Amino acid sequence: MHIFRRVILPLAFLVVFVVIAALLGWIAFKPAADDGFDGVEATGEPEGSIITAERGDISNTIEAKGTINVDAPTAVKAAHEGVVNHFFVQPGDEVFEGAELFQVRSEEADDAQPPASSGSDSETDAPDSQAEEGQDPVKPKYHTVTAEADGTVGDFVVEKNEHVSPDTQVNELLKNTFTARAPIEAVDLYRVPKLPETANITITDGPKPFDCENLRLDQGAGAPAASEAQGDDLVDDAASGESSADEPATDEGPGAGAESGPQMICKVPKDVTVYNSLGLTMTVEAGAVSDVIIAPVTAVRGLTGSGTVWVIGDDGQAEERSVRLGLNDGSMVEVKSGLEEGEEIEEFVPGTEPEDDEMDDEMYGEFEDGSGIEGDEQ
C-alpha cells in the first residue's frame, strides 16, 4: 500500500498529464485544411464584381413632392379707346364665359349699339368736344366687354367715366380651379420616355388620393440671351446717364432665384376640394415590363436608347459590348438586345467601382470627432 501511494499513483497522474499535453499540442499545431488559394496568383489588384444577367420585372414609378396652386386670374382689358360708361357686374359676382362685364363709350359714329341704361348716364351721352358749327355732332359708339372665361369678378381698377385705352386692365376674373405642380430632377426625365395622361395625387390630411388630368411637362423658363440682357442694361444706363463699369458684378443673372427647373403639371378635377399651397405627393406610373433581361444601372454606361456593358468572355476577360436599352427604374434597366440570359457581366462600369477606403474614412472620421473610442489619454 505504501508503494502504491508513493510510486504507482504519481506515475499514473504523470502519464495522464503527458497524454493531455500531447493532444493539446497536436490540436494547436495540426496542418491547416485546404484554404482554396492553390493556383491563385497574387497580382495586387482587386477582383471586379461579376454578376449574371437574369430575367425579371421592372415597374417604373416616380414620386415627386409638390404643391396645389390656384390657377392664374384672367385679365380683363378695355380693348377700346374711350371712357367706361357702365358696369354690369359687381366685385365678387360669379360669371360665366360671355357674360357682360362693362361698357366703353368711344367718340366714333355708330348707331348699331345703344348705350347701357343708367340713371346718370344721360348727362354723359354727349361728347365733351362739340362739332364745329354747321356740322352734325358725332354720335358716340358703345362697346360691351364680355368675360373670356368663367370666374369671380375682382375689383375694378378704374371708375365710371374714367378714360381708358385698349391695353388698360379694368378688372380680372379670379379662378376657382387648381393645378398640381411637382418639380422633377432633370436626370429623372430619362426614366420617362412618355408621360401618361394622368397622375395620382396624395394630400396628407386631405381628400382621398385622386387622379389629376392632362399631365404635362413644363421645362421652365429659359434665360434670355446674353446680348439681349446686356442691351437692356445699356439702355437703362444711357437713360440714367450712369455707367455700369463701376458697379460690382453679381452672381445673380436674369431670372435668378426663380424656379426654372422642369415640373410635372396636371389639372385637379373640379369635384375635388383643394386649397392653394397645399402640399402633395405626385405619383406617376411611367411604365412596367415583365420577364425581360435586366441589369443594374451601375453595369451600364448610357441609360437611354443604347448603352454599353462589359461581358466576361470564355477567357475570363471583360469585353465591351453595345446593348439596346428600355425601361429603367433607377436601379435596374431593361436590356432589349445585345445580352443573353445567363451571361456574366461586370457589376460596375470600369472606373466607377465603389472605393474600399470610403468605409475606412468614415470610421476614421468617427474616431477623430470623438464619437469613437474614448479614453486614450492617460
Task: Tell whether the model's pLDDT for residue 117 goes beyond 50.
Answer: yes
pLDDT at 257: 37
Please compute the mean of the pLDDT values over residues 201-213 and round it to a whole number. Answer: 94
Q: Is the pLDDT of residue 207 over 80?
A: yes
- Average pLDDT of the residues in 188-195: 85
Inform me whether the pLDDT recorded for 249 exceeds 70. no
Domain spanning 73-117+138-174: which CATH class is it, in words?
Answer: mainly beta
Could you tell me the pLDDT band of residue 340, with boundaries at 50, 70 and 90?
very high
| pLDDT(156) > 90 | yes
β-pair partners for 86: 103
Per-residue pLDDT at 167 exceeds 60: yes
Can you give the residue ranges of every domain in the chain? 73-117+138-174
Q: How confident is the model at residue 240 (pLDDT cuts 50, 70, 90)?
A: very low
pLDDT at 219: 86
Q: Which has the minimum average pLDDT: 8-12, 74-78, 305-309, 338-342? A: 8-12
The more confident residue out of 365 and 309 is: 309
Amino acid at 45: E
Read off the DSSP letter of residue 6.
Answer: I
Cβ atoms 161, 83 nearer than 8 A: yes
Average of per-residue pLDDT across 145-167: 93
Report the side by side order of strands in the sheet with 94-95: 74-77, 169-174, 151-153, 94-95
CA angle 206–209–215, rounded 5-degree value = 115
pLDDT at 274 over 50: yes
Give the per-residue pLDDT at 191: 86
- Tell me if 95 sits within 8 A of 331, measured CB to CB: no
Higher pLDDT, 257 or 169: 169
pLDDT band at 126 (very low <50, low <70, confident <90, very high): very low
pLDDT in tens, 22-60: 888 878 777 665 555 455 455 444 455 899 999 999 988
**For residues 285 and 378, which has the higher predicted lDDT (pLDDT)?**
285
- Sign of the dihedral through C-alpha 255, 261, 262, 265: negative
pTM reported for the whole predicted model = 0.60
